[in-house]
Structure 1
Amino acid sequence: MKSFVAILALVAVAAADVSLLTKDAAAEIVQQDADVFPDQYQYSFQTSNGISAQESGIVKNPGREDEALEVQGSNSYTGNDGQVYALKYVANENGYQPEGSHLPVAHPIPDYILRAIEYNAAHAKVEATRN
């Protein structure tokens, strides 16, 4: 059985389409910039296959208990489908917040669902105290 799995794995590797990897494997950095300081940084780069990115960050409230890093940036690349995927983001004490037209959008929870959740939560406490 082990040899069958090993042979199957070798066949899968041999049959894999690696033509998509070769384009990206040969990519070179055509532009790059970076500045790094103790309380802030920024960088940007662009590759020969169309990938680009930039980011900057700053330390908020340095030396205090609520010290935090706030980052903002963007990146883009062309997918295998030919579409350009672009992403902007902020990362701070509120978490990572990406934006992009290809990302799913959160929809508000309908009121009747919120009421059902509240009802279930309230009655679960009652049931737990009965047992």
Structure 2
Amino acid sequence: MKSMIIVALALVAVAAAIPVDEPPKILRSNFDQQPEGGYAFGFETENGIARQEEGQVKQVVDEENKPQSVVVVRGSYSYTDVDGKPETINYFADETGYHAEGDSIPKVPVARR
């Protein structure tokens, strides 16, 4: 019984000694909400991760020709990949869907006729 208690205490001591990674510090952060529904935000962290985005309300017509309000989003994010290379992804999303571009995003081949 005493040996089980000693083993348990040893495991607790080892677990307590393992260093815990601190999350990266936020260097910059902003958010602006507009009364009509638009917004803008961005942030940057000490490890090189950054993101910025803005959304604007747009009126579109749906399949039944009824007006709808949608939020059109544009933005980008950047980080350093596992090989140490900086990566930036630019994107937008609207009534046609989500569209992203960046070096790590595969390109759809263009069909030749």
Question: TM-score, normalised to structure 2's length?
Answer: 0.70
Counterpart residue type for residue 29 of structure 2 = Q
Please point out which of 33, 37, 48 is paired with 1:36: 33
Percentage of identical aligned residues:
34
Query: 1:108: Cα distance to partner?
Result: 2.3
Counterpart residue type for residue 95 of structure 1 = G
Runs of 4+ in 1 over 4 A off after TM superposition: none
Match of 1:83 in 2: 85
Please state which structure has a larger fraction of its residues in strand: 2
Query: 1:110: Cα distance to partner?
Result: 4.9
Match of 2:56 in 1: 58
Counterparts of 1:1-131 in structure 2 under 5 Å? 22=21, 25-38=22-35, 39-61=37-59, 65-111=67-113
CA displacement, residues 59-118 of structure 1 (integer Å, 9 cap, x when unaligned): 1129x732111000000001121011100001001100101022110012355xxxxxxx
Aligned-partner Cα distance in 2 for 1:96–1:83:
25
Counterpart residue type for residue 61 of structure 1 = Q
Counterpart residue type for residue 111 of structure 2 = I
Counterpart residue type for residue 24 of structure 2 = A
Counterpart residue type for residue 26 of structure 1 = P
Unaligned runs of 5+ in 2: 1-19, 61-65
Please state which structure has a larger fraction of its residues in helix: 1
Larger RCO (CA within 8 A; separation ≥ 6): 2
RMSD of Structure 2 on Structure 1 (CA): 2.3
Aligned-partner Cα distance in 1 for 2:23–2:39:
28
CA displacement, residues 23-78 of structure 1 (integer Å, 9 cap, x when unaligned): xx52011101110123210001000111000000011129x732111000000001
**Equivalenced residues, count:** 89
